[in-house]
Amino acid sequence: MKEIILIKNGELALKGLNRSTFEDILIKNIRKRIKPLGEFEYRKEQSTVAVVPMEDYIDMDEVSDRISRVFGIAAYSRALQVEKDMDVILKNAPEYLAEQLKNAKTFKVEGKRSDKKFPLKSPEISAEVGGAILSAFPHLRVDVKNPEILVTIEIREKFAFIRGNQTKGAGGMPTGTAGKSSILISGGIDSPVAAYMMAKRGLVLNAIHFASPPYTSPQSEEKVHNLLRQVSRYSGNITLFTVGFTEIQEEIRDKCPEDLFTLIMRRFMMRIAQRIAEKEESKALITGESLGQVASQTLNALACTDAVVSMPVFRPLIGLDKEEIIKVSRRIDTFDISIEPYEDCCTVFTPKHPKTKPQISVLENAEKALDVEALINRAIENTTIKNICF
């Protein structure tokens, strides 16, 4: 008798012949995340995956917390795996589910017998277990239409499973089923959320951060590491490219009109990000921009930054309000890190009156004062690589 976790795949059921591959990737992702906690066995059964701990010391609370962050899982439930013996089931079902049942008013038992040799039929299993629960918790009422707690008793080939309500999973698609993209990460609230949202659709991430020492501190780079570490709990490992950006910022400051500073800087970031992405076989860029949030995120401004790249640019936050973004960042535990007060390269040299309706031609003209190609090459040479894993 031991506690296991039953995982219900998300949209995988829809994906026809690819399903098996997707399922394998999902299991690989789960394995990576929970391997440090002990040895597990994985069993694929119909559209569920059973995660079975092979050692007694394994803390199933931590296992289920980690599994709750793995993309591609629609729902999961903790279940008690017991012998296929009705006495054992009747004794253990009320005990195992006591926490849930104690605080509920209504319940229902669903017996599922896939092993047809089991002496009791599904409805008989339901009735007997229902009786046992009622005598243990006399305050409960049976409600077959809309129960607060749905108790499921499954009789399978080797074991029987007792489980209560399912927990909603992280949703989305298993990481690695949608290819690779590069997130431009600053250290603010938005970019980690954008990274999370795109990872949710199955993308493997690498990240590009622009550092401008001495204007930015080593602490702000550390902050980016910490943010990505949080995101990696969902997305899996992230390769971070930290680009030395000081020279470019100083050149723009010295040679271009002040009100264009941010936009020209953004254009450099996009160009550099695309070069790094191409080398890494990333197929798209991701940013945390939200329409109109700041001067560089107006429609005109976004058109100006997009003009320098040819890859698709994903902006999953484009239609979200700050409040909505913050809500997600709190949920994925990046908010508290994001608000640590270290300067990032977007906030140094900020012009007093940035242009909100820039024209591409004006920017292109201003950039003529710079040796764009040489600056980009030097910045890319001045890049460090770090692997971020949870």
Partner 1 sequence: MVYLDNSATTKPCEKAVQKAFIMMTENFGNPSSLHFCGFNAKKELDSARRTLSDFLSCQQNEVFFTPSGTIANNTAILGTAKAKRREGKKVITTLLEHPSVIKHFEILSEQGFEVVYLKPDCNGKISLQELSNAVDEDTILVSVMAVNNEVGSIQDISKIKGIIKDNKSKAYFHCDAVQAFGKIILKPKKLGIDLMSMSAHKIHGIKGAGALYVNNSIRILPSIVGGGQESGLISGTEAMPAICAFAEAVNDIGSVEKNLAEVTKVRDYFVNKISTLPKVYLNSPQDALPYIINISVEGVPSQVMLNSLSSMGICVSAGSACAKGHRSDVLTAMGVTPKGIDSAIRISLSKTTTENEMDLLYNGIVDTINRVRR
By CB under 8 A, residue 249 contacts partner 1: no
Whole-angstrom CA distances from 54 to 60, 74, 362 are 12, 24, 65
Of the pair 137, 342, the CB lying nearest partner 1 is at 342
**Among residues 122, 165, 217, 237, the one that binds partner 1 under rule CB under 8 A:** 217
Residue type, 54: M
Q: Yes or no: say if 231 and 349 are a contact pair by the CB < 8 Å rule.
A: no
By CB under 8 A, residue 216 contacts partner 1: yes
CB of 334 to partner 1, least distance (A): 18
Of the pair 254, 373, the CB lying nearest partner 1 is at 254
For the record, the structure tokens of 305 come out as: 């930054």
Q: Yes or no: say if 208 and 385 are a contact pair by the CB < 8 Å rule.
A: no
By CB under 8 A, residue 253 contacts partner 1: yes
By CB under 8 A, residue 16 contacts partner 1: no
Whole-angstrom CA distances from 361 to 115, 221, 261 are 72, 34, 15
Of the pair 179, 218, the CB lying nearest partner 1 is at 218
Of the pair 137, 349, the CB lying nearest partner 1 is at 349
Tokens 């484009």 sit on residue:
318
Ramachandran sector of residue 16 (left: φ over 0; alpha: ψ -120 to 50; beta: rest): left
**Among residues 57, 214, 323, 361, the one that binds partner 1 under rule CB under 8 A:** 214
What is the rounded distance in angstroms from the CA atom of residue 201 to the CA atom of residue 72? 8
By CB under 8 A, residue 179 contacts partner 1: no
Residues 336-355, one symbol each (x = binds partner 1 by CB under 8 A, - = not), give -----xxx----x-------
CB of 187 to partner 1, least distance (A): 12
What is the rounded distance in angstroms from the CA atom of residue 286 to the CA atom of residue 71? 18
Residue 182 in 3-state DSSP?
A: strand
Of the pair 235, 383, the CB lying nearest partner 1 is at 383
**Among residues 119, 123, 131, 213, the one that binds partner 1 under rule CB under 8 A:** 213
Window 65-124: residues binding partner 1 (CB under 8 A): none
Positions of E strands within the chain = 2-9, 40-45, 48-53, 73-82, 106-113, 141-142, 149-155, 160-163, 167-171, 180-184, 204-211, 238-244, 285-286, 313-314, 383-388
**Apex CA 116: angle with CA 114 and CA 117, to 5°?**
130
CB of 216 to partner 1, least distance (A): 7
**Among residues 215, 293, 369, 380, the one that binds partner 1 under rule CB under 8 A:** 215
Of the pair 183, 248, the CB lying nearest partner 1 is at 248
Of the pair 259, 343, the CB lying nearest partner 1 is at 343
By CB under 8 A, residue 371 contacts partner 1: no
Number of residues counted as binding partner 1 (CB under 8 A): 13
By CB under 8 A, residue 250 contacts partner 1: yes
For the record, the structure tokens of 334 come out as: 């990046």
DSSP 165: -
Q: Which residues bind partner 1 (CB under 8 A)?
A: 213-218, 250, 253-254, 341-343, 348
